Amino acid sequence: MSTPGSANKREPRRFISGVVEGFYGRPWTMEQRTELFKREEKWGLNTYLYAPKDDYKHRMYWRDLYSPEEAEQLIALISAAKQHNIDFVYAISPGLDVTFSNPNEVAALKRKLDQVKEFGCSSFSLLFDDIEREMCPADKEAFSSFAHAQVAITNTVYQHLGEPETFLFCPTDYCAAFCTPTVTQSSYLNTVGEGLLPGIDILWTGPKVVSNKISVESIEEVTSVMRRPPVIWDNIHANDYDPQRILLGPFKDRPSELISKLRGVLTNPNCEFYPNFVAIHTLATWCKATAEGGQRDVEMDAEEQDPYYSPQKALTLALTDWLQEFQSTAQPGGPCPPAARLKKESSDEEPMQTDMGESSYVPGPGDNPLYTAEPLTLEDLRLLSDLFYLPYEHGPTARAMLQELDWLKNNSAAAAAETGQTQEWCSRAQQFDDMCEAVVQMFNRLSNAPNRSILYDLYNYICDIKSGVGLARTYVKRLGGQGRPSFNVMNDDPEPWGFRGGLSGEFQRMLPCHGNRDLFKHPPMTAVYCIRPYCPADKVEVQRIFREMQKQQMAQPPLICDGLSAGEIPPSPQCALVLEDDIGMCGYALALTDAKPAAAKIQRAVSGSVFEDFPSLITIQVLARVTDPSPARRMVGQLLSSIRSSGSRGAFCELRHSDRRMLHFYTKLGSFTPLKMAGLPQDIITMGTGL
């Protein structure tokens, strides 16, 4: 039975803040969740949204009621949340297979939520994220749209449960990127906004699924469409989409001005429970950073723009507290404190080596000294956080390391060819080596820390970064002329850690440009580009770009590729792409898998051996307004991959000496090197790459 309308008489509702366990993969344990409630209470957060994607009865078997054993656990959990003043919100995701128009389905949903209500839960949530948008025939018949179907079932369930104080709805279009054509014009979101009863709050992840920044303007926009301020489901610290990443940087790039414009923020953090200390602690600091309640920060760094919240300071606060936690032995698998060690009996949870009973071995004069663990430091944790920072940003030390490696790589060959590496090179190589050593030391001290629960959650990641850094370190040593040949990173017969990443790594490396984006070289950009196959109707635009670019160069002597750009020679199949931005076409990339006929056409003499190694030709032009080199790089990558599939052994390009921009571009690509060709007109350079 419903208890109508209570939403209207309520006091101004408190800002919802806390954690959503909403990731894919292994759910947290009941103990971890109880620990979470303690932390949330201590740090001033107030909500926990139970939504583990891979929990059977949350999503896949949403209709199934809980067994007596499961019920007992949930009852205990809900009561633990209450004890710590945490609002336990039970979420259910029926969207995989629910038939909205079938009364039995609605009844099944009510029955399940009634059961959870009996466990003591009073806050609920219906989630429709990550599901098919297509309705079944029966629903199409009953509802004018998917949004109408979701609104109907949500309102029914909300009223059935007595209009709970907290009731959250997650739309299928839960971020701006999913809205078609735009947030304001999305008919889905407008229907949801108009149709959902006012006491129901709506979850929103921001501009994207994992939002780099969330601006005040974007929230004002979505608020007007939803007819209520959203509760942010923040995926900034989620890592379920990439098994090589864990996010240990501070909550960031959400201006604290947002607090007064939102209904709440719930973070959906890393799958590993213990490393979420930083994610949750910094979110809690952010939540306190209001103009009314917070201290205005008078020592604000020039880079920081938020007067009430500094991510760097929040991070230091979090890491300082986290350091204490690493010292704790009060968890399974940790070493015994010395006094307890004498009394403790062996337990199943203890690793073998700590099960030493009362052995307090004292080495003799000629014996090995005992291994002594150095304590972990705040600097170690700062480094750890820098190495595993945020989805779109590496921490300062990680950035510095990448920058140094890049410089050492780019400046080594020229210097070494003459008199060996310069003094500057050597001293920077040494500094790089020191930074790598700090990572190894951090790894050692972390592995020795008493709190094994945190360590085990972090272990794969720190091992991975230690190996990655180790490879880079060996490479720099080799550039500097040190290191045994067997250390050669490019060894013909490496150990498996010399070709890392498994099958997935192999797939990535096979894709053009390794199929990846390095954050260091390509920080998130704001312009959106589209690369699509060339079609005959594009000929005029391609010619226009060609002429525009030609204006800036001498047109004589002609290049082999000119006929291609001018539309006189058609490109080979699958070998033509165009680049567009929001203004229009802004570049193109064309190729011939066999360049011989085109060379003959302009009577260019090219030696047979060059055509043997590099039978194909590519040309690319990008207007000056495209300052980001990555779209051009991606086009070249895609062309080379098509040329390779045609069976060609290599490709070349021709450039004029005066075309500094393209020269720089091809040089930076790394794969193209200058080709020596007799009889080439003086101001033309040819560069080639094997495939």
Residues labelled as active-site residues:
130
DSSP 39: H
Angle between helices 452-479 and 378-387 (to 10 degrees): 70
Nearer to ligand GDL (CB atom), residue 20 or residue 576? 20
- Measure CA of the first residue to CA of the last residue in the chain; give whole Å: 70
- Quote the CA–CA distance of 146 and 132 in Å, as a whole number: 10
> CB under 6 A: which stretch of 19-27, 318-326, 390-398, 461-469 binds ligand GDL?
19-27
What's the min distance (Å) between Cβ of 374 and ligand GDL? 37
Phi first, then psi: give them for residue 126, nearest 5 degrees: -115, 125
> CB under 6 A: which stretch of 235-243, 323-331, 357-365, 488-496 binds ligand GDL?
235-243
Which residue among 24, 456, 487, 497 contacts ligand GDL (CB under 6 A)?
A: 24
Q: Is 471 exposed, middle or buried (0-12, 13-18, 19+ CB in 10 A)?
A: middle
Nearer to ligand GDL (CB atom), residue 101 or residue 150? 150
Which residue among 18, 22, 275, 450 contacts ligand GDL (CB under 6 A)?
A: 22
Which residues inside 128-187 make contact with ligand GDL, applying CB under 6 A? Answer: 129-130, 170, 174
What's the min distance (Å) between Cβ of 520 and ligand GDL? 23
> CB under 6 A: which stretch of 230-238, 385-393, 628-636, 650-658 binds ligand GDL?
230-238
Nearer to ligand GDL (CB atom), residue 22 or residue 563? 22
- Quote the CA–CA distance of 252 and 264 in Å, as a whole number: 16
> CB under 6 A: which stretch of 21-29, 345-353, 628-636, 668-676 binds ligand GDL?
21-29
**Pattern of binders to ligand GDL over 41-60, x per CB under 6 A?**
------------x-------
DSSP 466: H
- Quote the CA–CA distance of 208 and 19 in Å, as a whole number: 19
- Quote the CA–CA distance of 132 and 109 in Å, as a whole number: 19
Q: Is 136 exposed, middle or buried (0-12, 13-18, 19+ CB in 10 A)?
A: middle
Which residues inside 198-227 make contact with ligand GDL, applying CB under 6 A? Answer: 205, 209
Which residue among 151, 238, 314, 449 contacts ligand GDL (CB under 6 A)?
A: 238
- Quote the CA–CA distance of 78 and 66 in Å, as a whole number: 14
Nearer to ligand GDL (CB atom), residue 22 or residue 164? 22
Which residues inside 265-284 make contact with ligand GDL, applying CB under 6 A? Answer: 268
Nearer to ligand GDL (CB atom), residue 268 or residue 686? 268
Phi first, then psi: give them for residue 393, nearest 5 degrees: -155, 130
What's the min distance (Å) between Cβ of 239 and ligand GDL? 8
Residues paired with 580 in a beta bridge? 530, 585
What's the min distance (Å) between Cβ of 170 and ligand GDL? 6
- Quote the CA–CA distance of 71 and 74 in Å, as a whole number: 5
Choose among 446, 445, 444, 470: nearest CA to 457: 446
Find out whether 49 and 89 touch, Cβ atoms under 8 Å: yes
What's the min distance (Å) between Cβ of 22 and ligand GDL? 5
Which residues inside 95-134 make contact with ligand GDL, applying CB under 6 A? Answer: 129-130
Give how many residues touch ligand GDL by CB under 6 A.
16
Q: Is the dihedral of CA 299, 305, 307, 310 positive or negative?
A: negative
Nearer to ligand GDL (CB atom), residue 253 or residue 304? 253
Residues 6+ positions from 165 with CB-CB distance below 8 Å: 6, 7, 10, 13, 122, 123, 199
**Pattern of binders to ligand GDL over 503-542, x per CB under 6 A?**
----------------------------------------
Which residue among 139, 240, 562, 659 contacts ligand GDL (CB under 6 A)?
A: 240
What's the min distance (Å) between Cβ of 203 and ligand GDL? 6
* Residue 233 in the binding site for ligand GDL (CB under 6 A): yes
Q: Is the dihedral of CA 669, 671, 676, 677 positive or negative?
A: negative
What's the min distance (Å) between Cβ of 51 and ligand GDL? 7
Find out whether 54 and 27 touch, Cβ atoms under 8 Å: yes
What's the min distance (Å) between Cβ of 244 and ligand GDL? 14
Which residues sit at the interface with ligand GDL, rule CB under 6 A?
Answer: 22-24, 53, 129-130, 170, 174, 205, 209, 233, 235, 238, 240-241, 268
